[in-house]
Structure 1
Amino acid sequence: MKSIQLAVFSLALISSGVMAEASPQSVVSSYMAAWNAHSASQAARYLANDVVYYDAATGSPVKGKEKAEKEVIGAFIRAVPDLQWKMTSQPVYNQDTIAFQWQFSGKNSGEWAGAPATNNDIKFEGVSFIKVVDGKIAWQGDYYDSKKLEAELQKAKP
């Protein structure tokens, strides 16, 4: 009888572990915290190996965890080492996908897309759609006002 109870208890523990998989909200919150800690490698831990990152401003998706870490997350962190990426709306969910408005701010004190640092403060808003599969980000699409960002990068200092 004790062995049956132990087996049932063990099965319950295993099942609860499977059910306790990270929610899209918790994955995205941890991912954003890693960005705000200015750690590309830590943020990349939340990406699936075959992640697709789509930035509407560039129009070309970046495919794969290593490329996303280097060409997206790392590029932003190098360009704006003090960056802050904040969720500014309640997220909207559709099973495995989360959408939310955000604000990105900081000082452009590093090279950005081949251009030298402007040392300008930047602040722009956008929306992200992030699909989470098996506790990892499988797809991220960012949509924002790239003209406002460009203007802030080029504004003259008083």
Structure 2
Amino acid sequence: MKTIKVAVLAGALFSSLALAAASPLTVVQDYMAAWNAHDSAKAAQYLATDVVYYDAANGTPVKGKDHAEKEVIGAFIKAVPDLRWKMTGKPVYDHDTIAFRWQFSGKNSGEWAGAPATNNAIKFEGVSYITVNNGKITWQGDYYDAKKLDEELKPQAN
């Protein structure tokens, strides 16, 4: 019985250490994989309850995990159900903050910010700065060419 208790305690300790030892880069890579799996709930699991999500194109930060899941992640996945978000350069990081260039692509086959789908292909680049504390994203800032995205989202003339 004592051996079982020790084994259970050791397993719990190693599981806790594995979670605590997840590097900020691993957290970000797993977060991006959840986006690419088109699973907003899974992506939101990587966010801290009080996360701040800043999209430079909007200018107003989205505060809180539930709001970020619905208003950012879910909105993007709904608008571009086949989205692909990938790092295009080597990430730079210092302790808890990661910066990286990325490319976002897919087809706008769902409603975007109240506008109907255009069925246009979109592809734009940007940079994200993400802060990770205790295995959770506490701040994300996305900076990209919103004018290019707006052009790609315009309905095509027939």
**TM surpasses 0.5:** yes
Q: Which residue of 1 aligns with 2:74?
A: 74
1:89 aligns with 2:89: yes
Instruction: Decide whether the 8 Å contact of 1:120 with 1:157 is kept in 2.
Output: no
Aligned residues between the structures = 150
**In structure 2, how many angstroms separate the alpha carbons of the residues matched to 1:108 and 1:153?**
7
Deviation per residue, 1:57-100 (Å, 9 max, x gap)? 00000000000000000000000000000000000001100000
**In structure 2, how many angstroms separate the alpha carbons of the residues matched to 1:134 and 1:42?**
17
Runs ≥4 in structure 1, deviation > 6 angstroms? none
Q: Which residue of 1 aligns with 2:100?
A: 100
One-letter code aligned to 1:40: S
Evaluate the alpha carbon distance shift between residue 83 and residue 111 of structure 1 in structure 2; reply closer, same or farther with a 3 A threshold. same
**In structure 2, how many angstroms separate the alpha carbons of the residues matched to 1:111 and 1:79?**
5
Secondary structure in 2 matching 1:111: coil
Instruction: Decide whether the 8 Å contact of 1:106 with 1:122 is kept in 2.
Output: yes
Evaluate the alpha carbon distance shift between residue 63 and residue 141 of structure 1 in structure 2; reply closer, same or farther with a 3 A threshold. same
* C-alpha displacement of 1:18: 3.3
**In structure 2, how many angstroms separate the alpha carbons of the residues matched to 1:16 and 1:116?**
45
- TM-score normalized by the length of structure 1: 0.88
Q: Which residue of 2 aligns with 1:151?
A: 151
1:48 aligns with 2:75: no
**In structure 1, how many angstroms separate the alpha carbons of the residues matched to 2:74 and 2:124?**
19
**Which runs of no fewer than 5 residues in structure 1 stay unpaired?**
1-6
* C-alpha displacement of 1:17: 4.5
Q: Map of 1:1-158 to 2, 5 A cutoff?
A: 14=13, 17-18=16-17, 21=20, 22-154=22-154, 156=156
Deviation per residue, 1:25-62 (Å, 9 max, x gap)? 10000000000000000000000000000000000000
* C-alpha displacement of 1:156: 1.9
Secondary structure in 1 matching 2:53: strand
Secondary structure in 1 matching 2:43: helix
**Which runs of no fewer than 5 residues in structure 2 stay unpaired?**
1-5
